[in-house]
Structure 1
């Protein structure tokens, strides 16, 4: 039997962890990376260094691959259509992926299929932002570039016409959204294969700091079973309606209805493995990375159920100490049950350089262990 070749566009940590998950599956893995120093390029043996925005480069890379997938959403849509026209399996395909690439397209489609979202519309200029605010609850208003934003980039919370000028300087469409008074942020992660098999992971709580994911708790503490089930079903429905193949992360706001009962609104979509699913590497029977590969190859999907009552993921951000190795040794010795995943990146302040996973029966203990390890590695605590 000849095992298939998966080509992944993008050489970041998501590609690195996807490659790791593919090793026991026996697949062959090819990488299109921006530089030889990228996180995944350090560990993948078959690497093409090139520009994913160049169609000829993409075509040459795709030759010999059974399927193309991604660790980011930035490949031009028209290039993906050209690959499909060449007979290359692209998963997720351009008709699905555009909903993660373009927030305005996403909002229009979600509204058309009845998915609850914050009030929103594309705005033309700062005066139009003022009109949008007047149509609803007034300022503040959230402005987002329709394409290109991530980890808080391309997002502004504006409180006046004057503050609204900045997002328009890039010359790309701008989406205005109401600023939601949410209780907390959640994420529903699902995986869907070409023939329609799908699995849903437990809904998680995602704690953001300065627009960047800091901690993920699986499952979301205190979330009523009916709300959790409806959020999973919502994500599965979105995956089906948009034709997603692979992993889909649906970022959610938990809000309160007028009667005080909880509900959810969709914030963002990501059609690739996602930070809110990193806990699955150690906390689920099948990780998001393994199931993404299974899906894009149309293999039977793996069990998404958790291994322990609680799993906590904490991102490791760079601090003022570029050499993390002594802290890494300390954390391993202090907590032998700790799972540390490092990305091979140079340490820079605020940069994601790894994450830690902890799991167990006691949520308070699991959270403390994850927070301590992430803080010690960053250098914000020293005991």
Structure 2
């Protein structure tokens, strides 16, 4: 019997699940937020993922529900589980990707290395945290932030006054130690409900304006103890929160070769796009295998190096399709993935993957191909 996988969210992550679903013989269905979204080829319903009855109606026609994003409310997720729907990752796991304060508390329980942190409810509490941590801190809204949104570096308690004013009674902001990191890394792990788990090589990520711009796989200079530590952290978190599907653990590497957990994502993630063309099993196929409870695939790199470059913004005239042909002609070794989105400043409209034996050459070709879209 064909397994029907329902994806809530019609963005590019759902779009990139379509091809591997076909190859695995799965019936992929998508609940999109609006008409014409990236995953429109598989959109079988359009509606509000925050509305319980809309989601319930969608879930009736699938065997398992998974996600393109982590924003479906807990009340909706738990109602689906109560209805007997298979939800992967489930609400007990997904809460740690939805609320950064809940995440920090659970990582503390698991003994995972992370920045010092505190829940702060007013400017005085934030000021005390800043004073105790060298005069600076990172303040985050616990819910809803991504790609640099909901994150602010502060040096005084009054610099988050507007956020405090918007808090509901009993709510708090997250204050974190301002980590002097040397670079950012990411560790991906896939886990089946049965407990089978596989890990990908740790990668280096480069952020610009809070958005992931480049990924190098594997991370240069990471091997031995550091690679084992990153994988161990990923496996500990995946097991400790009971995630099913892909888990991405964003990490800081410090100058004394420590690594600290920054944030979590429980779905395919930008840091894993390289695996589409650079690993034995890409992250989108792996996620589907995991949520459908199929045996997990190999995670070994196909080449010495793979570099992923995000296409951010796209051409001002909107002629993305014209630039695609130019990039393919100029750089035939580049694998170009577009998201079916209209270009606008800062928007992710696609990415480029290039793999090969020489890192300098791979980086050059990937950047040159992506530059064709600017």
TM-score (norm 1): 0.95
Q: Is 2:174 the counterpart of 1:188?
A: no
Paired residues of 1:156 and 1:167 also in contact (CA < 8 A): no
1: distance between equivalents of 2:99 and 2:259?
21
Aligned residue in 1 for 2:242: 243
Aligned residue in 2 for 1:334: 330
1: distance between equivalents of 2:130 and 2:118?
11
Output aligned runs, 1:224-243, within 5 Å: 224-243=223-242
Query: Secondary structure in 2 aligned to 1:69?
Result: strand
Aligned residue in 2 for 1:166: 162
Q: Is 2:152 the counterpart of 1:153?
A: no
Q: CA deviation at 1:128?
A: 1.2
1: distance between equivalents of 2:38 and 2:321?
17
2: distance between equivalents of 1:72 and 1:273?
9
Q: CA deviation at 1:169?
A: 3.8
Query: Secondary structure in 2 aligned to 1:14?
Result: helix
> Per-residue CA shift, 1:3-36, capped at 9, x if unaligned?
1000000000000001222110010011111111
Query: Secondary structure in 1 aligned to 2:23?
Result: coil
Identify which of 261, 264, 267 aligns with 1:266. 261
2: distance between equivalents of 1:189 and 1:331?
29
Aligned residue in 1 for 2:317: 321
Q: Is 2:122 the counterpart of 1:125?
A: yes
Identify which of 335, 358, 363 aligns with 1:362. 358
Query: Secondary structure in 1 aligned to 2:24?
Result: coil
Q: CA deviation at 1:224?
A: 3.0
5+ long unaligned stretches in structure 1: 379-383
2: distance between equivalents of 1:162 and 1:238?
34
TM-score (norm 2): 0.97
Q: CA deviation at 1:75?
A: 0.5
Aligned residue in 2 for 1:101: 98
Paired residues of 1:154 and 1:167 also in contact (CA < 8 A): no
CA RMSD of aligned residues (A): 1.0
Once the two structures are overlaid, the 10-residue window that deviates more, 353-362 or 219-228, is 219-228
Paired residues of 1:144 and 1:167 also in contact (CA < 8 A): no
Q: CA deviation at 1:376?
A: 1.8
Aligned residue in 2 for 1:289: 284
> Per-residue CA shift, 1:33-86, capped at 9, x if unaligned?
111111102x21x52100000001111000021100001010111211110110
5+ long unaligned stretches in structure 2: none
Q: CA deviation at 1:127?
A: 1.6
1: distance between equivalents of 2:69 and 2:107?
21
Output aligned runs, 1:199-238, within 5 Å: 199-238=198-237
Q: Is 2:304 the counterpart of 1:309?
A: yes
Identify which of 49, 56, 61 aligns with 1:59. 56
Paired residues of 1:252 and 1:264 also in contact (CA < 8 A): yes
1: distance between equivalents of 2:61 and 2:46?
16
Q: Check 1:327–1:64 CA distance in 2 against 1; reply closer, same or farther (3 A cut).
A: closer
* Number of matched pairs: 370
Output aligned runs, 1:84-95, within 5 Å: 84-95=81-92
Aligned residue in 2 for 1:77: 74
Q: CA deviation at 1:233?
A: 1.4
Identify which of 130, 133, 138 aligns with 2:135. 138
> Per-residue CA shift, 1:111-146, capped at 9, x if unaligned?
01100110101101122110111222222x100001
Identify which of 300, 325, 347 aligns with 1:351. 347
Q: CA deviation at 1:156?
A: 0.6
Aligned residue in 2 for 1:25: 24
Query: Secondary structure in 2 aligned to 1:250?
Result: strand
Aligned residue in 2 for 1:381: none
